[in-house]
Amino acid sequence: MFTLISSDLKEQQITLQQLLERSPYTLLYFYPKDDTPGCTLEANEFSELHEEFTQKQIQIIGVSRDSVESHCSFISKYSLKPSYITDSDLTLHKQFDARGEKNNYGKMVT
């Protein structure tokens, strides 16, 4: 069970199966942290394209470890249109192999 936060800041407890049943197509994008330069750029770009995706029945959902409060602040600050999932225990990250050791400026981080 995950917490899904919509663009109107409504919270919903939802399973992955329920999430996938909401739309014929789902685009999950994983990102490291709310309100960082690269992640904000990506979120804003998905917001700009949100209507095009919606017309094609594609729901966009951002996934990170950030808290519900952090997601709400991020959505409000930038008027983001996609929904966001709080995956603090990395369940989805692991399921989609989206989290692991990375090389960050020559230093290995997880």
What CATH number did the domain enclosing 13 receive? 3.40.30.10
- The answer to whether the CB of 4 falls within 8 A of the CB of 12 is yes
Among 18-22, 40-44, 50-54, which stretch is predicted with the lowest mean pLDDT? Answer: 18-22
Q: In terms of Cα–Cα distance, which of 57, 46, 54 is closest to 80? A: 46
Percent of the chain with pLDDT over 90: 64
Task: Kindly report the number of other CB atoms within 10 A of residue 19's CB atom.
Answer: 19
In whole angstroms, give the CA distance from residue 44 to residue 18. 26
Number of domains in the chain: 1
pLDDT at 66: 94
User: What's the pTM?
Assistant: 0.85
**Active site (catalytic) residues:** 39
The residue segments making up the domain with residue 41 are: 2-109
- The answer to whether the CB of 1 falls within 8 A of the CB of 14 is yes
Rounded to 10 degrees, the C-alpha dihedral 60/63/67/72 comes to: -20
Confidence of residue 36 (pLDDT cuts 50, 70, 90): very high
